[in-house]
Structure 1
Amino acid sequence: MQSDKASKEKTTLHPRNKNRERYDLAALIKVMPELADHVKPNKYGDDSVDFSSPAAVKLLNTALLKHYYGVENWVFPDSNLTPPIPGRADYIHYIADLLIEANFGRMPAAEKITVLDIGTGASCIYPILGVMEYGFNFVAADIDADSLTTAEKIITSNPRLTDKIELRQQENPAHIFNELLYDTEQVDITMCNPPFHASAADAAKGTQRKVSSLSGKRVKTPELNFAGAGNELVYPGGEHAFIHKMIAESKLFANQCFWFTTLVSKQSNLKGIYKALDEIKATRVKTIPMGTGNKSTRIVAWSLLTPEQQKAWRESRWK
């Protein structure tokens, strides 16, 4: 197994990320006037959004998507997770880098790339960014039918997204790739932001810490500042169990995907992940550090294709 495990974390956004600099609040308020009601001076005297407010966070990210990506209609229930656009865009840029690297420094033609997004959610954010930034095709999967219905409304109300994103329900929550991918179907790369918490109680504690940190006050019953429905945040066994399930199932689809990838929030999970990838005989493992603000995370990517199979993949799909 060839390994490219990173030795240290970075805290800067990807060089192609549109939000590497401070938010242009004037420009964002121009496209989303309601955001102005949630902007106030921070402790340094600079205008800032109230990140402890779910309404403010949702307006900010809606404005970012509209101003920088041309997405005019992005409407989903307040109970669903509001994804922070800069961090989500970073994941898209890094999977693009993986495809470029696998193709000897050249991006394969966008119309030939299919990305599988596991747990796309009501916001459908990764497919939206992947289409707008690179023109990739997506299979966007989720176990929740209501989330897929909302995602469909977003897609159909934004013409650039139609015919680029196929929504697919995973009807068996015990599986990830099983019963989702067709027998002979091929996807070039997968992506996933796994549920982080092992239980609702763990999720509530995490929210309390986050909101108390953002507001500077101890809050007994905080409201999720990025919201989030249960299945978006919670999986029995948490991130560790979800990723290990994903790794085990990836072996069954070894010849149907070039790169499997997932976000890994807890650094303490990496040792077990690497061991699991050794056990399924991954031919390539790559760890990509990412960071937004004070939060550090990383992408773990793996391939199960031999060099000969990788060559055949490039010649059959990317030329």
Structure 2
Amino acid sequence: MNTRHQKKKSRPAPVSKGLHPRNLHNQGYDFPALAASYPALASHVKPNPYGDLSIDFSNPLAVRTLNAALLNRHYNIASWDIPDGALCPPIPGRADYIHYIADLVGSENLDIKLLDIGTGANGIYPLLACRIYGWQCVGSDINTQSIANVKAIIASNPDLEGRFTLRAQNDKNHIFEGIIQPGECFDVSVCNPPFHTSQDEALKSTQRKVTNLARNRGEAKTKTKASNLNFGGQGAELWCKGGELLFLKKMVRESQVYSSQCRWFTSLVSKSDNVRPLKKLMLKVGAVDVREIEMKQGNKVARVLAWTFVE
């Protein structure tokens, strides 16, 4: 029997390089510790082709269970789950956004009120903002089933009640209208916008991700059904008419109306070609400060645009 591999110690699988200095996931995932603290993960943890412990990132249940384990162990969030097919967010990258937003508004400031546009069924940004920085958060969404799911997560974490509240957007033609109430003020808004122009485009993009995962594991290319995509995402979570650019142009124009009720408006921008026209529009509608924040995650560079009308 070859015992050389049996004696090999596992090490945390690297997730990203260059995450924010305060990000708890800078050293990757400690799968043994995660499985020990969240036993449901144990059956998904196996050596990868390189001999390191990992999970099958093309398996939606494995990815959801990893997220639940991470949120439970590192952020004391119990009973996190999402419906089948809902967008399953990568926790390290989502935490990065919150940390960079904290730099923008002042990480030492505990009296921050955050608005999450399109919180989805996962509610990830307010959950992390509440736990990491103790902020007050409002999550909005056009999908009532998504809101119901986040309400269930909050109910399982009673200390979040009153700190994380939810509002339904009843008009698909508006983003802030109907959500920001008269006389109400926020310090910052965040958003992970739908970035595809159609459901077909979204499915093709996700299929490419699944194919790349299979290629990295040395597997044959397979056709994946929409219901089995680990990245998930339904309807407004992934696509809208006009895609990311049209959605964010609408957001920028509408932000002008609420310029005195939110100090900083921010959003992820997935397509670099959209940055220049969005910055141009921000200045056109009267923004006095526009910032592009880069977030490095492994070989991937994500970007956040932030703009304000307040001197």
- 1:11-50 equivalent positions in 2, closer than 5 A: 12-50=18-56
- 1:241-252 equivalent positions in 2, closer than 5 A: 241-252=246-257
1:89 is the counterpart of 2:95? yes
Specify the alignment match of 2:271 in structure 1.
266
Shift in Å at residue 295 of structure 1? 2.5
Shift in Å at residue 11 of structure 1? 5.3
Shift in Å at residue 196 of structure 1? 1.4
Specify the alignment match of 1:218 in structure 2.
221
Match of 2:108, as an amino acid? M
Decide whether aligned partners of structure 1 residues 75 and 225 sit closer, same or farther in structure 2, where only a CA change above 3 A counts: closer
Where 1:255 maps in the other structure, the secondary structure is coil
Residues 124, 140 of structure 1: 8 Å contact kept: yes
Shift in Å at residue 21 of structure 1? 0.4
Distance (Å, rounded) in 1 between the aligned partners of 2:159 and 2:47 = 37
Unaligned runs of 5+ in 1: 1-9, 101-105, 307-319
Match of 1:144, as an amino acid? N
Match of 1:230 among 232, 235, 249: 235
Match of 1:285, as an amino acid? V
Specify the alignment match of 1:74 in structure 2.
80
Specify the alignment match of 1:188 in structure 2.
187
Specify the alignment match of 1:315 in structure 2.
none
Measured on the aligned residues, the alpha-carbon RMSD in Å equals: 1.5
- 1:113-262 equivalent positions in 2, closer than 5 A: 113-216=112-215, 217-222=220-225, 223-262=228-267
Residues 58, 226 of structure 1: 8 Å contact kept: no
Specify the alignment match of 1:65 in structure 2.
71
Unaligned runs of 5+ in 2: 1-15
Query: What number of residue pairs does the alignment pair up?
Result: 290
Q: Which has the higher contact order (CA 8 A, sep 6+)?
A: 1
Distance (Å, rounded) in 1 between the aligned partners of 2:243 and 2:170 = 20
TM value normalised by structure 2: 0.90
What percent identity do the matched residue pairs reach? 48
Distance (Å, rounded) in 1 between the aligned partners of 2:299 and 2:210 = 14
Distance (Å, rounded) in 2 between the aligned partners of 1:284 and 1:48 = 43
Where 2:294 maps in the other structure, the secondary structure is strand
Question: Cα deviations across residues 270-292 of structure 1 (Å, max 9, x unaligned)?
Answer: 11111111211210011110132
Question: Cα deviations across residues 81-131 of structure 1 (Å, max 9, x unaligned)?
Answer: 11111111111111110011xxxxx722x2x31100000111111111000
Where 1:288 maps in the other structure, the secondary structure is strand
Where 2:152 maps in the other structure, the secondary structure is helix
Distance (Å, rounded) in 2 between the aligned partners of 1:58 and 1:293 = 21
Where 1:190 maps in the other structure, the secondary structure is strand
Match of 1:277 among 276, 282, 293: 282
Runs of 4+ aligned residues of structure 1 deviating over 3 Å after TM superposition are: none
Residues 265, 296 of structure 1: 8 Å contact kept: no
- 1:284-303 equivalent positions in 2, closer than 5 A: 284-303=289-308
Specify the alignment match of 2:108 in structure 1.
107
